[in-house]
């Protein structure tokens, strides 16, 4: 597997998404590797990184040109810039790509005092158990809750198990909320890395949405992070999701970083999900 970490700059956002890393390990992505940078193309999307010392020297232009020359329908029509770097904006402008979507990372401090989860009557919380029916139960919940999200909603068992193999994964950080019948009602998946507790994916069964179970799961996740001694929480939200942004801001979250998705000229009017 190519070393995709060799150009990571401390303080910069990771240049590749978790799903991109999964697909590279599984051989489902095209990797373009040059001396001072690397690009990955998967499912029509491009991500790339250039070493700090070589930025501004045309390496990004070379990688994008190589990506656009891929045959057999493999050339990308979308690209992600994690961190909205000025160089990425300049590169997009050079190729005539337009920004079509933003994804905001929000952060908030975690209080020393864990919140009261306040479980509804009959509901229970438990930790995820890899290698059990929890896997298929969670995948069904995830697919239903994120049916309109092109990436999260299509996660497969192989994708899930690949994440279970990641160093950051812990079944204790994937909280399962079950109703009185034992059916999975929701989940709160936490990703703890570099001292930050990310709300990686919070899902509520569609027929139970509107019953404030999302708040229950957020409190449960916050209590878990507090119990682990973490002092900062993070989450991602669509830049145009004003109701969610208002909710999170009322909860103390503020903007920390931004990812921007660009589309090739012929696709700029029809953005898709991350």
pLDDT value, residue 10: 82
Number of helices and strands in the chain (H, E): 7, 11
Tokens of 27: 């051989």
pLDDT at 272 over 70: no
- Give backbone dihedrals phi and psi of 35, rounded to 5 degrees, phi first: -60, -40
pLDDT value, residue 225: 97
pLDDT value, residue 246: 87
Domains of the chain: 18-104+259-267 (3.40.630.30), 111-230 (3.40.630.30)
Tokens of 49: 């990184």
Angle subtended by helix axes 18-25 and 157-164, to nearest 10:
100
Angle subtended by helix axes 133-145 and 157-164, to nearest 10:
120
pLDDT at 4 over 90: no
pLDDT value, residue 271: 44
Residue 120 region by backbone torsions, left for phi larger than 0, else alpha for psi between -120 and 50, else beta: beta
pLDDT value, residue 99: 96
Bridge partners (DSSP) listed for residue 245: none
pLDDT value, residue 254: 96
Average pLDDT of span 97-126 = 94
Alpha carbon distance 257, 12 (integer Å): 10
- Give backbone dihedrals phi and psi of 167, rounded to 5 degrees, phi first: -60, -30
Alpha carbon distance 204, 173 (integer Å): 17
- How sure is the predictor about 268, in pLDDT bands with cuts at 50, 70 and 90? low
Span 227-255, pLDDT tens digits: 999 999 999 998 998 888 888 898 889 99
pTM, full prediction: 0.81
Closest C-alpha to 188, from 202, 170, 198: 202
Asked if residues 173 and 166 have their Cβ atoms less than 8 Å apart, the reply is: no
pLDDT value, residue 93: 96
CA angle, 15 then 253 then 198, to 5°:
45
pLDDT value, residue 147: 84
């Amino acid at each position: 597997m190519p070393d995709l970490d060799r150009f990571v700059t401390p303080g910069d956002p990771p240049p590749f998404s978790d799903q991109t890393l999964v697909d590279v390990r599984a051989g489902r992505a095209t990797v373009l590797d040059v001396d001072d940078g690397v690009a990955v193309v998967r499912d029509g999307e491009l991500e790339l990184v250039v070493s700090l010392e070589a930025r501004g020297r045309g390496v990004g232009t070379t990688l994008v040109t190589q990506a656009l020359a891929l045959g057999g329908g493999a050339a990308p029509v979308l690209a992600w810039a994690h961190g909205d770097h000025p160089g990425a904006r300049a590169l997009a402008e050079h190729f005539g790509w337009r920004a079509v979507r933003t994804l905001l990372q929000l952060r908030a401090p975690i209080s020393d005092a864990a919140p009261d989860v306040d479980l509804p009557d009959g509901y229970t919380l438990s930790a995820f158990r890899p290698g059990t029916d929890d896997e298929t139960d969670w995948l069904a919940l995830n697919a239903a809750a994120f049916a309109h999200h092109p990436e999260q909603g299509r996660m497969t068992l192989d994708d899930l198990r690949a994440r279970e193999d990641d160093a950051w994964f812990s079944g204790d950080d994937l909280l399962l909320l079950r109703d009185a019948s034992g059916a999975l009602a929701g989940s709160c998946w936490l990703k703890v890395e570099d001292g930050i507790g990310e709300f990686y994916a919070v899902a509520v069964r569609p027929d139970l949405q509107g019953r404030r179970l999302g708040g229950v799961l957020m409190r449960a996740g916050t209590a878990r992070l507090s119990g682990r001694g973490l002092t900062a929480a993070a989450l991602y939200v669509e830049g145009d999701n004003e109701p969610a942004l208002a909710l999170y801001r009322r909860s103390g979250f503020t903007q920390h970083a931004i990812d921007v998705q660009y589309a090739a000229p012929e696709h700029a009017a029809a953005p898709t999900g991350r």
